Amino acid sequence: MNFQQWSALMKEGFNVTSFVATYLCFLHVTNTYLFTHAWVYGPSMLPTFSVTGNLVLAERVSTRLGKVGRGDVVLIRSPQNPRKVVTKRLVGMEGDKITYVVDPKNSDRRETIVVPKGHVWIEGDNIYATSDSRKFGPVPYGLLHGRVFCKVSDLKSFMDCIFFSFLFFFL
Amino acid sequence: MGKWKTLAKAAIELAAIVAKFICLYHVTDSYLFSPTIVSGPSMLPTLNMTGDVILAEYVSHRLGKVGPGDVVLVRSPENPRKTISKRIVGMEGDTVTYLVDPNFSLRSRTIMVPKGHVWIQGDNMYASKDSRHYGPIPYGLILGKVFCR
């Protein structure tokens, strides 16, 4: 192959690489700062999410602006395994007094705790089979990853999802 | 009409170049390394009280390669908008013995760092609010490792 062909090939390769890099960059920025998807599975959020798995859309704007509140389902980095991101419901913000059942499978004993500054209290919807703040205590706010706003079960719910998310962002 | 079109096209090209540059800078800033200014008395004599420029890299903590003795940037567990710099004294499973309040007494306590957490302390034990104050912090709050002052 002579030099001209080679240089044309290199130029083409560079163009393609640059295009792919730009696309990945754009995808990454959207994932980190706007919204992302997650596949949630496991029994801890029954009946909201099924055991075998649901695709959810989570937005990453509210956590940075401090606009998450009680009742939101959030993605949070696990305090026990930093490589895992878990899904739970935010039950208490800092300063709230939380009364929770310590071990519902074995007893009805309740305990009350005040959530310290800078922390949140998370619980799974299925309190019989979840490892959450009742086990590892209040979690620092800095571990919040995103807020789930949409569960995708089929095409119709997906379209509803997009519609409601637009309403949320622009109203 | 044609003039507007060429003008718009040139503007879009310029905007694209600027956007790509910002993107590249941001990726380096978040995932490779970036300079930061740290200030406060908690890391004397290692870091200045009035402010030091340091280079922090964001690769090791994702690979799990931070360990005891490293100075790290962590997100404060008391105020999630604040980033603080402290030294890692113990990883998960380590037993840490620390002076509870060296300003007032020589009393010390021993604690085992739970799974997924680290124990951080400032170099200046007399004026540092760290794990002796709010307990072991989850590994997920570590933002980066300081490697250069």
Confidence of residue B44 (pLDDT cuts 50, 70, 90): confident
pLDDT recorded at residue A155: 65
Q: How many CB pairs below 8 A link A and B?
A: 56
**Residue B86 among the catalytic residues:** yes
Please list every residue in chain A whose beta carbon sits closer than 8 Å to the beta carbon of residue B26: 29
Catalytic residue among A11, A18, A44, A97: A44
- CB proximity under 8 Å: B 13-72 to A: 20, 23-24, 26-27
User: Is A29 near chain B, with CB under 8 Å?
Assistant: yes
Please list every residue in chain A whose beta carbon sits closer than 8 Å to the beta carbon of residue B75: 140, 142
CB distance B140 to B71 below 8 Å: no
Confidence of residue A171 (pLDDT cuts 50, 70, 90): very low
Mean of the pLDDT values across residues A126-150?
Answer: 88
Mean of the pLDDT values across residues A118-145?
Answer: 90
A32 to chain B, closest Cα gap in Å: 11
Mean pLDDT estimate for chain B: 84
pLDDT recorded at residue A167: 64
pLDDT greater than 90 at residue B107 = no
Mode of pairing for the β-strands spanning B83-90 and B71-75: antiparallel
- Structure-block tokens of residue B27: 């990726």
Domain ranges of chain A: 37-170
Q: What percent of chain A has pLDDT over 90?
A: 15
C-alpha span between A32 and A86 (Å, rounded):
17
pLDDT recorded at residue A87: 92
C-alpha span between B92 and B11 (Å, rounded):
53
pLDDT greater than 90 at residue A88 = yes
User: Is A131 near chain B, with CB under 8 Å?
Assistant: no
Confidence of residue A49 (pLDDT cuts 50, 70, 90): confident
Q: What is the dihedral of CA B55, B120, B97, B136, to 10 degrees?
A: -160
C-alpha span between B20 and B17 (Å, rounded):
5
Please list every residue in chain A whose beta carbon sits closer than 8 Å to the beta carbon of residue B27: 25, 28
ipTM of the complex in this document: 0.72
Yes or no: domain A37-170 corresponds to CATH 1.10.3080.10:
no
